[in-house]
Amino acid sequence: MSDPRDQQIVDELIVVYELELEAVENFLAHSINLDGVRAEEIKKSLAADVTGEIAHSQMVAARIKQLDGLVPGSLSLRRRQTYLQPSADTTDVLKVIRGVIAAEEAVIAQYRKIVQLCEGYDYVTQDMAITLMADEEAHRREFRGFLREYANE
């Protein structure tokens, strides 16, 4: 890497790569584990979101490589989503909804950090981060709607 900012951008992209892959794991687990009639819509949404999160991970990984970084393997990935871990109570839909919102807020904050870091320097990464952040904001909006509906029952 020719400029130290490139390494800083790669480091922050690796963080968002980890968050996206962790969301895949947790969304997949919840899309299978949740039980009950109330859980069906949430399960469907999470199952569909797995594909989107994988696509985000692929885009971020490709950008890491384009910046001459190394995409980490599974043993190098950090895990942070304590709030989205599966529960022994497989009918606790509200816990899952709140966990998804927390996960989306974390990844949105990381994309926002990347956007700011790239300002005036790396417009390609900045554009990608803005696009992916918009997807995450839409997903968060969907789950905020679920929260209002399920919390009022």
Q: What ranges do the domains of the chain cover?
A: 4-151
Q: What is the pLDDT of residues 101-138, one digit of tens each?
A: 999 999 999 999 999 999 999 999 999 999 999 999 99
Give the global pTM: 0.95
Tell me the CA distances in angstroms from 28 to 43, 56, 97, one per residue in order: 9, 15, 14
Distance CA 31, CA 37 (A): 13
Q: Which CATH topology does 4-151 take? A: Ferritin (1.20.1260)
The H or E element spanning position 55 is: helix 40-66
